[in-house]
Structure 1
Amino acid sequence: MAAVAHDVPGATPLPPGAPLPPARGLGRRLLNHRSALLGGAIVAAFVLIALLAPLLAPYDPIGDADLGRRLQPPSAEHWLGTDHQGRDVLSRILYGARISLRVGVMAMLMAAAVGTAWGALAGYYGGWFDLISGRLVDLMLAFPSILLAIAFAAFLGPSLENTMLAVALVSVPQYMRLVRGQVLSLREQDYVVAARAQGLSDARIIVRHILPNALAPLIVQATLGVGTAVLDAAALSFLGLGAQPPAPEWGRMLNDARTVFRVAPWNMTFPGLAIMLVVLGFNLLGDGLRDVLDPRARDD
């Protein structure tokens, strides 16, 4: 089997038998990359928050509603204040991390799975299938992704599960084009030609010899894709097409807070900061991974 190429989009893959950089070297470069380290720390912090939300949240994010304490400013009792129904904002943000991260990761996994399979088949076989696939992807990319997501979510109906599906559908073309480009550059490599001559099936050649060499840019795209999915899901929930009340989803919290922004700005400020930090974390981590997996960085 050919050596796996740790490359970036457009870079030349490693030739067969080329030595791979040691994992320790990759880890060292990742630890020395400040942006990646900061992004990874932010992502890890929010993952821990999501996992430990029941232990960290001082109140029930849904059941502890009390109109007598509605719209209270941040205080020692409620560190981030209360919302329009008297619920603790901090508790809702902590539990909201579970929802937003789950939506982002699941949407990315679905989009990556479909886009990778589609792009691999289109790039490997070419012909009419590649031509039709390319035109369909071009058509989808001609529209802003958020508009397509709104259209899909409106058609499917407002719910968290449909939000995941809508966000995944609009993300598929990015993975398809990335994988197709990688497969086009790899399918004529000597080791792929040799595998065909040995009588290996197309499926085995794609899975065992081609896709591993396209893994590095796919990892980078997937990391960046989680942040994009979190942002798109929050936008759909803000528009009323995503998570429904009383779910403590960050986009939904922004929607609930817009009518009281003048009197209780903390209701919108803190969920907005949570969204910003999560997206920033995944973007920094993705950019760092792109630099670390770049073959030109191996001699640093």
Structure 2
Amino acid sequence: MSDPGENVEAAVRPGVAPGGLHTAETPVPAPATGKPRGQFADVWAELRRKPMFWISAFLILVFLVMAAFPSLFTSIDPDQGSLRDNLQGPSKDAWFGRDIQGRDIYARTIYGAQASIVVSVIATLGTVLIGGFIGVVSGYIGGWVDGLLSRIADVFFGLPFLLGALLILFTFNPPGSAPSKLKVEALVAVSLMVLSWPVSMRIMRSAVLSVKEADYIVAARALGASPFRIVLRHVIPNCLASMLVYSTILIGSFIGAEATLSYLGVGLKSPAMSWGIMINEAQQFLRDVPGWLFFPAAFLVTAVLAFVMLGESIREALDPKLR
């Protein structure tokens, strides 16, 4: 007859069955070490497994460096050219060919990234800050404040984007005027902000409405926290994910919008360098130098796609249903 103490001891020993029989199927649990991963760590772990994230991040890094330090990509002055070499095709001296004034198309394409990136980043920051602030106020306070701000947003939301941008730019930058490049960039950025903030306002308002009655918000309110502290410490941090995704995609959209306005002649104008300006100038010489239109358009499409792909990757990483 076996000792009952042996069975009890064997029952609590990993890998040993009652009666002293060892069982290989019984796993030995590993001790818990470290702290549990937070949301950022989970999202980062998910993003690292996505090739689309790394491709888009690499392309965006290249475009940002290109906009900040164009001299790293070319040592050629984009404004210098010779009429004797105009409308030449690609060669070892001019990789993308030369335009009607004999200027190097490759150098102008590199320097053209600066205006598009700067305008889109500034416009995105302004749109997210303005729309996000109004969305937080509207969603958290509610009542007549929410109704009033929502109706104002509906007015701006109903304006056709292109028509509204043309109206603003034609008013403050009429044809024939010669304002500085900085002033025109600021006008384009402001026009994009004025017409786009209602979308970010609606996104933030919806996020605030979904979290403002959560248990942790109710607990903070019951403990006597002020509305300002609740919004700053609890509401906004839990609503930033959707705005981050929207902001990333919005940068790509604004790059295309700036190029469109410059192409139509109401945004940046020559002698400023922009992909939209180059496409406008090249359309009359498409048969002579197709690279004059193709290469700026290829850079433009690649930049827009890179930001859109990054935004989609972040959205999928943040949404557990899409993992």
Give the TM-score normalised by the residue count of structure 2: 0.81
Distance 1:118 1:73, change over 3 A: same
Q: SS of 1:32's equivalent?
A: coil
**Aligned partner of 2:193 among 168, 171, 175:** 168
* Partner in structure 1 of residue 47 of structure 2: 30
Unaligned 5+ runs, structure 2: 1-35, 175-183
Higher relative contact order (CA 8 A, sep 6+): 1
Query: What letter is aligned with 1:267?
Result: W
Matched, 1:142 2:167: no
Residues 245-254 or 113-122, more deviating: 245-254
Question: Post-superposition shift, 1:263?
Answer: 2.2
Q: SS of 1:57's equivalent?
A: coil
Query: What letter is aligned with 2:133?
Result: A
Matched, 1:95 2:111: yes
Q: SS of 1:231's equivalent?
A: helix
Question: Quick one: distance in 2 between partners of 1:166 and 1:146?
Answer: 10
Question: Quick one: distance in 1 between partners of 2:316 and 2:211?
Answer: 22
Question: Post-superposition shift, 1:34?
Answer: 2.3
Higher Cα Rg, which structure: 2
After TM superposition, list the pairs within 5 Å mapping 1:168-247 onto structure 2.
Answer: 168-247=193-272
Question: Post-superposition shift, 1:22?
Answer: 5.6
Unaligned 5+ runs, structure 1: 1-18
Q: SS of 1:59's equivalent?
A: coil
Matched, 1:154 2:170: yes
Question: Quick one: distance in 2 between partners of 1:226 and 1:135?
Answer: 26
Query: What letter is aligned with 2:76?
Result: Y
Question: Quick one: distance in 1 between partners of 2:40 and 2:135?
Answer: 28
Q: SS of 2:56's equivalent?
A: helix
Q: SS of 1:48's equivalent?
A: helix
Distance 1:155 1:20, change over 3 A: farther
Question: Quick one: distance in 2 between partners of 1:90 and 1:220?
Answer: 32
Matched, 1:279 2:296: no
Question: Post-superposition shift, 1:259?
Answer: 2.3
Question: Post-superposition shift, 1:114?
Answer: 0.2
Question: Post-superposition shift, 1:23?
Answer: 4.0
* Partner in structure 1 of residue 94 of structure 2: 78
**Aligned partner of 1:43 among 38, 60, 65:** 60
Query: What letter is aligned with 2:246?
Result: Q
Q: How many residues are matched?
A: 279
After TM superposition, list the pairs within 5 Å mapping 1:255-266 onto structure 2.
Answer: 255-266=280-291
Question: Post-superposition shift, 1:261?
Answer: 2.2
Question: Post-superposition shift, 1:105?
Answer: 0.8
Q: Is the 8 A contact 2:94 2:104 kept in 1?
A: yes
Identical residues among aligned pairs (%): 35
Residues 68-77 or 108-117, more deviating: 68-77
**Aligned partner of 1:124 among 127, 140, 160:** 140
Question: Quick one: distance in 2 between partners of 1:278 and 1:32?
Answer: 22
Question: Post-superposition shift, 1:192?
Answer: 1.6
Query: What letter is aligned with 2:186?
Result: E
Q: SS of 1:122's equivalent?
A: helix
Question: Quick one: distance in 2 between partners of 1:168 and 1:59?
Answer: 34
Q: SS of 2:239's equivalent?
A: helix
* Partner in structure 1 of residue 178 of structure 2: none
Query: What letter is aligned with 2:108?
Result: R
Per-residue CA shift, 1:116-169, capped at 9, x if unaligned? 000000111112221122222223223332222222222232622101111122
* Partner in structure 1 of residue 129 of structure 2: 113
Question: Post-superposition shift, 1:295?
Answer: 3.0
Distance 1:133 1:264, change over 3 A: same
